[in-house]
Structure 1
Amino acid sequence: MGERAREAQGSGDSAVKVPEFRPMLLSDVPAITAIEREAFTVPWSAEAFVNEIRHNHFARYTVMELDQSIIGYGGMWVIMDEAHVTNIAVRAQYRGRGYGEMLLRRLMQTAREQGARSMTLEVRVSNEVAQNLYRKLGFKQNGIRPRYYTDNQEDAYIMWADLASGGGTT
């Protein structure tokens, strides 16, 4: 379950406000699971997020807020010098405005601060919007996981970014 990287992007044309970022709290789980259901065909359960926050000492989850309302979140596991993105999603009405990029940049920054030198994630082969974002931030395709997604047996690309060389900082 925790090895799925996800990114929800789309299109929109409203002005972009600067969001605030903070660590995810247990009290955020209802809002996070609502975003999960909106963004993914196989969403994580509330229990999965609670377990991550309470029991996974490798987990780092970040929420993104506008006007004190959660509009997105991202999660990763930082193990030694490697970060693995587990989830990343933005509410539908905020997609296509650069918030996904801001959120991923924040995750990359946090990973660096935690000592990670590289970051990895999986992405659906059909999700070209997310792939383009990941490439923009320095991720490169480095493999494939056949039939990775359980809802339709779609393959996943494995992508890596070199955080030590400044990936995601420009």
Structure 2
Amino acid sequence: MGMEIVPMTAAHTARLAVLERLCFSEPWSEKALLEETENPTACFLTAVENGEVLGYAGMHIVLSESYVDNIAVFPEYRGRGVGRALTQALIDRAKAENGAFITLEVRASNVPAIALYTALGFQKAGVRRNFYTAPREDAWIFTLSFES
């Protein structure tokens, strides 16, 4: 069986909390992830293959605006299209909700993520100076507009 993108459930949150600690200097806790499974504005998706959690992506949709919170893939599964599939699934969901746009922030040094977002049509919309801590770094804001 190949990779599937499924809604995040309570069964995924313990493993995703491990991923959060691997990827982020200010990780979401298992409790915080679990709370998102009940949040009506949240769209959190998990990539799974043969029962194994590969990564996840989450965003919040308010009216026609979609804001990505996190996209993360376990290191051993990177380079296999997991991040692309998760990001595309978020885009598809935002469009299905009649969204006007989807936006996200990314560390300026995260070259692979920036390349992915650009390849999917996101455009750099701004910079948040010194947004990230540990280490301190600028956040680049990328937006994909659905309106012509």
Higher strand proportion (structure 1 or 2) = 2
Q: Does 1:49 align with 2:33?
A: yes
Q: Secondary structure at the match of 1:74?
A: strand
Which residue is 1:37 aligned to?
21
Mapped contact 1:121–1:159 kept (Cα < 8 A):
yes
- What's the C-alpha RMSD, in Å, of the aligned pairs? 1.5
CA distance in 2 between partners of 1:47 and 1:151 (Å):
22
Question: Which residues of structure 1 form unaligned runs of 5+?
Answer: 1-16, 166-170
Contact 1:108/1:163 (<8 A) preserved: no
Q: Which amino acid aligns with 2:115?
A: N
Counterpart in the other structure of 1:14: none
Superimposed CA distance per residue, residues 30-68 of structure 1 (whole angstroms, 9 cap, x where no aligned partner): 0111111222232111122122223x3211100110111
Q: Which residue of 2 aligns with 1:77?
A: 60
Q: Which amino acid in structure 2 is aligned with residue 37 of structure 1?
A: R
Q: Does 1:61 align with 2:44?
A: yes
Residue 164 of structure 1: CA displacement? 4.3
Deviation at 1:79, TM superposition (A): 0.9
Tell me the residue number matched to 2:106. 123
Aligned-partner Cα distance in 1 for 2:82–2:92: 15
- Where structure 2 has 5 or more consecutive residues not aligned to the other structure, the ranges are none
Tell me the distance in 1 between the aligned counterparts of 2:72 and 2:2: 17
The residue correspondences of 1:16-27 to structure 2 (distance < 5 A) are 18-27=2-11
Question: How far off its partner does 1:74 sit?
Answer: 0.4
CA contact (8 A) 2:95 2:146 kept: yes
Give the number of equivalent residue pairs.
Answer: 148
Sequence identity (%): 36
Q: Which has the higher contact order (CA 8 A, sep 6+)?
A: 1
Report the Cα offset of residue 125 of structure 1.
0.7
